[in-house]
Structures are given as structure tokens and as C-alpha cells.
Structure 1
Amino acid sequence: MAGTGSLTDVSDEITAESAPTHPTATLVTVCIGMFMLMLDMTIVAAALANIQTSLDASLSGLQWVVDAYTLPVAALLLTAATLGDRLGRRRLYIAGMATFTVASLGCALADGIVALNIVRAVQGVGAALLFGVSLPLVAAAFPDPTKRAKAIGVYGAVMASATAAGPLVGGALVTAIGWEWIFLINVPIGIIAVALAYRYVTESRADRAAPADWAGTGLLTLTLLPGVLALIEGNAWGWSSARVIGLGAVSITSLLAFVAWELRAAHPMLDLRLIIRPAFAANALAAFAAAGTLVAATNFLALYFINTLGHDPFQAGLRALPLTLSALVVAPPIAVLHDRLPVRWSLPTSMAVVAAGLWLCTGADAATTWTHFIAGSILGGAGLGAVTVIASQSALTFVEVDRAGMATGAVNTARQIGIVVGVAGLGAVFSSAVATEAGAGLAALTVGTMTVAVPDEQAAVLTEALGSGAGQRVIEFVPDQFAAAVPALSELAGGATAQGLNAVMATGSAIAAVATVAVFVLPRITGRRAGLTRR
């Protein structure tokens, strides 16, 4: 797959008639697209509570609002890069942006959670096309290695900034004019991006583009979709149920088939010989772990701020500023200093900062206010900004030149898979912890000195609502005969939801800590075995 967006020698593939004429405009156009894509992965966090109320959605429905978007990106990104090499990267960028823009309009018009999630999946297909050609377009526009490195640094900083800014932008839009506008805002921006691409972006293709690996794409999709569905519905269906076990079996079987196919395919979408290189594996793992822990956890933190602490979406976005500003401040200097920082130290250090930030966010209880999360958000945001930039840029330094395009695509795919799996897995952790705490609390519910007997049916309704992240809104489900117990139920709701959030943050921190150790060890294995660690 030599032509899949090879970033370090792409200038050799550009014909005389297609030489870049507007490199800065190309960078701006690509960054507009990437800002929209990364923003849409986190902007929905601020709208989840309103979507839940407006469309009467369960927690699993809300998880699919995120995962229906990121799953197609993860499955199709590498194939999209190959298609860009063959059909033209500018052409695919325009097609992807048009698809993304039209789907954004469809999301705003959706009248139910199922319809919203279906159109989110279409939006994800457009995003995959954009992701697949974005870095190769930048590389083609900047054939000079020094200028290209600076452009890619800007690209990485934009990705980090958009990821961090999502909750604040989303909160402002949801509070001012409604959740639909987190999608409608994409429409004029998308139209502008398409116009800029037509006017300024130069077409580029690979001279030796490989055919698309559709079999690999299908097997990867068949690995992710049933696995994510099992994680999201596991608590509701039962982890030992036939459906969950069957979905897990399909996912594992498909993964094995994917590995077998990629090892024998003439033109694999992902050369597994690249992935097993320890230094590169560390890079992909860091991208996966940071996205699957901190980025995924921000969705549950946003629900907590709104439904449990009672802040409106804009106020919740303001309270996400410690994470947002920390990532925004850290990302640009890391991008500039990247070549001076030894990746074998900077990457595990950044992951350790993410783990520490998540751990500082644990310890919430029924009396917790938003200020409890400030220190952890600052630390976690700094780690996220650093990991995002380092992972994007160091993918080009850990592999030989002719695999650069596949390397960056693999890292982006790992990031998307991290979000998909993280939202699904942490959602299961959240629901389970909340249900356990709520069940114990309802069994011992007292008003004054009197024990209140909550009927099993009513207790199940309250527990399900709390497990869906309803927080203090659970009071809406309390019948009139339990009016005297409302204060006690309110305290129980706050405590149970806090325990769910603690479980999310502690699990995320543990995963990030394990990833830190792995990211520290893997490049050193490379250094001893093959001498590929360059710094």
C-alpha cells in the first residue's frame, strides 16, 4: 500500500500540471474540515442531556449518538485514504465534506433517537473520507520537509484544540438556541469548505495507488459493530445472555479473520507488520488509550454537570474550561518542540499525566460541586493536548518513508476505535455502578426515622433512569405518594450518580496507567531489537 497518503515523499507523486499553488489556503481548508470533525466528537457531550429529554433516549441511545459517528470513521478511514490515492484526494475531500454537511442537516431534523443515530452514522462516513485524505492533502501542498513539518504541527494543534473546545461550543449553542444547532452550525461551514476546496486545493494522486481492501474494511466493521453493541447493551441484556455472548463471539471471530486476511492480502488496508513494531505500537496505543479514557469520560462528566449538578449546557461548557484551556495551551508548544523532545519519554509522560488527571477526578459524592474536578481537568487536558500532537507527528518518525501514510492512518484509526470502545465500555461501567448504589440506597431509603418501602416495579424504573444518567431528573419519575421521600431520593440520586462517575474515572485512570507502562516499555524493546528508536 505504498501510495496510501505517503506523507514524506508525496511530492515525488505530484505531476507538473498538479503542482500545489495555494499551500496556505489548502492548509486552512483542511484544518476547517478537521476542526469540524474533531469538534463533532466532543460537542455532543454538552447536548446529550437535552437530546435525552427531547427524544426520550436511554443511556444506550445516547452512547450511540457518539459511537454511531466514530465507528464508521474507525472502520473506513484507511480505506478512504486508499480511495483518495486512486480517485484524487481533493475529489474525495469534497465528497466527504458534502456528505458530512448534508448529514449534519439530517441530524438537526431527526425526530427520534434511532433516526438521529442512523444519520450520525452517515455523518461518520463523510468524516472518514475527510480523515483519510486530510494529512496527504497537507503533505502534497507542502513538498518542502521543513514547511511540511510546521504545517502538520498546525494540523495536530487544530485537532487537539477542537477536541477540547467541543463541550464549551456545544454548551453555548444548546443553551442559546437548542441542541439541533450543534449540527446546523456545520452546514454553512461545510459549504464554505467545499467552495474553498474547489477554488484553492490542488488535486493529487499516488502514482502507484493500491486497490481498496474492501474485504478488510468489512471484517473490521464486523469486528467493531457487534462488539460495541454487546458493551452498550450488556447491562440491560445480561453479560451471560445468549445475545451478548453471540455478539462477542462474532466480534472475536471477525477480528481473527481480519488479522488472517490482512496477513495474506496483496494490498492490505493495514500492514500488520507495521503494527507489531513495538515503537509504532506504542504510538497507536497512546492515541487509543487517551481517546478511550479521557475523551470518552467527558461525555459522562457533561451528563453529571447538567443532570445531577443542575447546570445548563452553557454553564457545563464553562465548567469544562479547565480541560479545554489546558489542552489549548499545551498543544501548540508541544507541536513546535516536538522534534526536540524524545518521544520515548514525552509520550509515556503525557499518558501518565492523563492517568493522573482522571484519578484526581475520582472521589465525588452527593455533596460534590463542579470545583472538585478542576485540578483533574487541568492535568488531564494537558496530557490530552500533548498526546494528540505527539501521536499525530511521531507516527512519521517511527516508520520508514514508504509507510508514512499508512502509519498516520493507523494512528487516527486507533484514536477513533478508542472513542468507540471507551464510550461503550465506560457506559457499561457507569450504569453498573449507578445501579448497584441505587439499589442499595432504595432498599434502605428512610424519611426521618421511617423506612420507605419502594415497590420493586417503581425501584426498577428509578434505577434504570439513574443508570441512564438522569441524575436529579429522576425526581420526575417519583409518584405523588412518595412526595415526602423526594429529599431523600434527591440525595440518593446525587450519590448514586457520583459513584457511577467515580467508577468511570477510576477505570479510565487504571487503563491509562497500564497504557503508560506499555508506552514506556515498547519503544525500548524496539531500541534493543532493531535500533528503530531514533531519539
Structure 2
Amino acid sequence: MEHSTSTLAATSAQPTGQPIPQTTRSTHRWLALAVLALAQFLVVLDASIVNIALPTVGAALGLSTAALAWVVTAYVLPFGGLLLLGGRLADRFGHRRVFLIGVAGFAAASLAAGLSVDGTMLLAARAVQGAFAALLAPASLALLTQLFPDSAARGKALGLWGAVAGMGSAAGVLLGGVLTASFGWSSVFFVNVPVGILVLVAIPLLITRDRRGTAERMDAAGAATATLGLAAAVAALSEGGSLGWTSPIVLGLGVAALALLTAFVLIERRAAHPLLPFAFFRNRDALAGNIVMLLVGGSTVALFFALSVYLQEVLHLDALSAGLSQLPLALALVGIAGVVPAVVSRVGLRPTLTGALVVLGAGVVWFALAGTTGFVAGLVLPSIVIGLGLGATFVTATQLAVRGVGESDSGLASGLVNTAQQIGGALGLAVLGGIASAQTAALLAAGSGATAATAGGFLLLFLGVALLAVLGAAVTALVRSR
């Protein structure tokens, strides 16, 4: 079992035969966890909260539809591209220090986004938000693993963490609609500022200072190729649906991503202190957890993007009603957090994760096939099932991805989990969104009405989300621990 960063040097003086007391980085670790989870909630929330506000943003700042897509992409690109580097920087310079830098930068960029007077200012602020989120996210999860070195408590902590991460995606639809309708589009950014200040005040009071960082040199070449390669890959996946997969821009980004990531692999094999030691993947739990998170990220981003459109264009709900309709899903996510650790302790981590993925897939299929059968049977009940499956999946997949990881690699493991989720999200949205768009166009050409054509396209998207969940269950069963 790993030691936390506050492990006392005096443990060597412990009398022979006496148990060595476990120490953590906080005497109020559950309160510290709540503050860390709140920061993580904002990071996940900001990837989705702007979706419903986009039409209002476009009208206020005079942005075209293509430019509005970049309000989301400008955040996702640096976030996904810099996560791996952010995790290693946290390992190198201190997890608390890097976390606080990330929170401060994220809050400042959020303030700038809310004050934007034109599209250029907004896109620049969103890019800065994503860059600082890439520091915040892996450092916060690494701090969690140090706060809870004992496996039983860590399971409960990761249960809360996974629920918060999943709820951030669901709450984006809910809060985006409520805030935009009540206070205007700027409020979806301003809400981050007071929360960021609260986190900046609380964490230094709750978590001890970092130990002195390691003296090893940073892998600059690996960091550059990984960051640029991941950013190019996310950009290609994000723009493929709108520009077309044969667009010179998309093809150029794809070739650049392939070349840079190939160079990254070659560099890491020879580096004295690699950014990503490939021996890390000898931990089959971490390998399986990251593959599942890749698939879950793809299904989640595609699902909530589709919901924000489906609820308004097919079910004809306004922005506020569309947001409120997701409240049962969000409540189910929160409710499952306290149950999953007990289930894991009784039946095991992998069986619980497999079952959660099956429940998620079943809920999405129910929602897809229910159509407009009624508010309760067609929307509320399948949303609850989706929330239960999604919440349990985030809890157990995160727990699997960091199981058995030592303190010196906790930032790396956390960065990988978040990277897998972001890359999976870009890939899932690009592929499944493209399939939905093609089906909608085909139905329109065949003479279907706009509502029926949109519903037909999203039917395929929802079934694709369910398929990704089933694939995740298969990976969980096949990639076994050594």
C-alpha cells in the first residue's frame, strides 16, 4: 500500500512489533475531499454547461454556428491535450501547488469569459480555462489518493468522486438552462468564480504542504509531442463532423496527430525519465480502467450533447424545461454514490463495473426506443436508469484505473484517466454525431418531417452509446488483473 506525502520520517522509530499508524495529508480529509470534488465538478461541468446557452451567446456576440462550435472546442482542445503533462507536472512540482495554480487560473479565465465583449475574447478565455483545467483535474484526483491510502476509505472516496464527475455532465444540461434563462449567458461562466475563491481559501487550510519535488529532469520532448499530438487528435475528431472527414484541414490534423504521437512513443522508449513510462501499463487494472473510461467518455459526451438537442427539437421543451427534465438523472447519480462502495466490497470491483455498464446500456436503449410514449415512461424512468448506471460506472472505472498506483505516479494515473475521458468524448461525439447527422439527412431526403428525421438520427446515436457501454463491459471482463 502506498504512503501519503505526509508520511512521517519518524516511523522508523516505531517500536518493533507495533503497528505503524497511517497518516494522511489532512485531519479533515472528508471535508478536503468535498472541496476537491467541488473543483472537479466545475471542470466537468464547463465542458457541457454552455451547450444550451450557445444560441443566446451567438445572438449576443454575433457568432455564426461554426464559431459557436468553437466555444466548446476551444475548451476541450487544451484540456485534452495538456492533461498528461498536467499530471506529470503535479508529480514533479507538488500536487497541492499545481492544483491551486490550476484553480486560480481557471477562476480568472472564467471571469474573463463572462466579461467577453466579442467572440475572440470569449474563445481565448475558453482556451485558457481548458489549459488550467488540465492542471487542476489530475492534481485533484492525485490528492484524493493520498488523502485516503487505506483501500476501504479510498473506495468510498472514489465513489463520491465518480458520482461528482458523472453529475457534472448531467448538471451541465440542468444548470445551463436554469442559469441562462434566469441570469443570462454570462452566468454560466461567472458561477465558477466564487466557487474557485472558496476552493483557494479552503485547500491550504485542509491539506498539508507538498513535500519537496523530485530532482529528475522533465521529459521536454515527450511533453511537447504528447501535448501537440493529443491536441491535434482532439481537433481532428471535433471538426470532422462539421468540416467533413475528407476535409484537408481534418486530414492534415489527423496526419499531424499520428506523426506526433508516433514520435512520442519513440521518445518515451529511450527517455531516461519518460513522461509516460510504458511499464505503467503492466498494471492491468489501470489499463482496463483507462480503456473503459475512454469508452464511457465517448458515450457520455455524445449522450448529453444529444439530450440537449433532442429535448428541445424532438420533444419541444424550452431551455429551462429541458434542463429541469434532467433532474431525475442527476439525483440518481448522486444517490448511487453511497451504495456502490458497499456493492464493491460484497461482489468485487470488476463485477460491479460490468453490471453498471450493462445498466447504463439498458437505460439508453429504453430511452431510445421509448420515443414520445409519455413524460414518465419515456423520459423520467429511463433517465433514472441511465443515471444509476452512469454514476456507478464513473465510480468503479475511476477506482479501477488508479488501483495499485504508487504515490510517485498518482498524478500520471490521474492525468491518464482524464485524458482517456476527454479523447473518448471527442471521438464518441465525432463518430456518433456524424452517424446521427447522416441518418437525419437521409430521412429528410426521403420526405420525412424535420422532427421525425431528427428523432431517427438520434435513435442511431443512442443505440451507439449503448454499444459503447457493452464494449466497456467486455473489456472489463477480458482484461484481467495479473
TM-score normalised by the chain length of structure 1: 0.78
Matched, 1:511 2:472: no
Give the CA deviation at 1:210. 4.5
Rounded to whole Å, the distance in 1 between the matches of 2:205 and 2:56 is 39
Match of 2:451 in 1: 494
Q: Which residue of the partner structure matches residue 266 of structure 2?
A: 260
Q: Partner of 2:102 in structure 1? A: 96
What's 2:227 paired with? Answer: 221
Mean Cα deviation higher: 182-191 or 88-97: 88-97
Q: 1:209 to 1:432 in 2, by over 3 A?
A: farther
Whole-Å Cα distance in 2 between the matches of residues 374 and 76 of structure 1?
37
1:483-516 deviation per Cα after TM superposition (whole angstroms, max 9, x unaligned) = xxxxxxxx82212221222232122222332232
Instruction: Show structure 2 runs of 5+ residues with no match.
Output: 11-23
1:390 maps to which residue? 396
Instruction: Name the count of aligned residue pairs.
Output: 468
Matched residue, 1:8: 2
- 1:185-264 equivalences under 5 Å are 185-205=191-211, 208=214, 210-264=216-270
TM-aligned CA deviation for residue 181 of structure 1: 0.8
Contact 1:77–1:409 (8 Å) recurs in 2: yes
1:75 to 76, 81, 84: 81
Q: CA deviation at 1:112?
A: 4.5
CA distance in 2, matches of 1:378, 1:99: 35
Q: Secondary structure at the match of 2:47?
A: helix
- State the distance in 1 between where 2:67 and 2:434 align: 13
Three-state SS of the structure 2 residue aligned to 1:205 is: coil
Say yes or no: does 1:165 pair with 2:122.
no
Give the structure 2 partner of residue 440 of structure 1: 446
Whole-Å Cα distance in 2 between the matches of residues 151 and 237 of structure 1? 42
Please state if 1:427 is matched with 2:401.
no
Letter in 1 for 2:425: I
Q: C-alpha distance in 2, partners of 1:278/1:145? A: 18
Letter in 1 for 2:255: A
8 Å Cα contact 1:82-1:210 kept in structure 2: no
Is the CA contact 1:45–1:299 (under 8 Å) kept in the aligned structure 2? yes
Q: Which protein has the larger Cα radius of gyration, Structure 1 or Structure 2?
A: 1
- State the match for 2:287 in structure 1: 281
- Mapped contact 2:343–2:352 kept (Cα < 8 A): no
Distance 1:328 1:84 in 2: 29
Contact 2:158 2:395 in 1 (8 A): no
Which position in structure 1 is the counterpart of 2:306? Answer: 300
Give distance in 2, aligned partners of 1:64 and 1:136.
30
- What is the TM-score with the length of structure 2 in the denominator? 0.86
Cα pair distance change 1:153/1:364, threshold 3 Å:
closer
SS at match of 1:179: coil
Tell me, in whole angstroms, the C-alpha distance in 2 between the residues paired with 1:14 and 1:49.
55
1:129 matched to which residue of 2?
Answer: 135
Percent identity (aligned) = 36
Contact 2:25/2:207 (8 A) holds in 1? no
Cα deviations by residue, 1:274-322 (Å, 9 ceiling, x for unpaired): 3365443221111111121133321121122224433222211121123
Q: Which amino acid aligns with 2:222?
A: G
Q: 1-side partners of 2:160 and 2:198: how far apart?
A: 20
Partners in 2 of 1:368 and 1:68 — Cα distance?
38
Letter in 2 for 1:516: A
Distance 1:307 1:49 in 2: 13
- The alignment's C-alpha RMSD in Å is 3.1
Q: Distance in 2 between matches of 1:401 and 1:136?
A: 8
Structure 2 Cα separation of the partners of residues 306 and 250 of structure 1: 37
Q: What pairs up with 1:331-480 in 2 under 5 angstroms?
A: 331-363=337-369, 372-398=378-404, 403-441=409-447
Task: Give the direction of change, closer, same or farther, for the CA distance of 1:362–1:26 in structure 2 (3 Å limit).
Answer: closer
Distance 1:172 1:179, change over 3 A: same
Residue 497 of structure 1 aligns with an amino acid whose one-letter code is T
Check 1:280–1:143 CA distance in 2 against 1; reply closer, same or farther (3 A cut).
Answer: closer
In the other structure, the counterpart of 1:28 is: 34
Instruction: Report the equivalent of 1:451.
Output: none
Question: Aligned pair in 2 of structure 1 residues 227, 78: CA closer, same or farther (>3 Å)?
Answer: closer
Residue identity matched to 1:506: L
Q: Give 2:317's match in structure 1, choosing from 286, 311, 322.
A: 311
Query: Runs in 1 of length 4+ with deviation above 6 angstroms?
Result: none
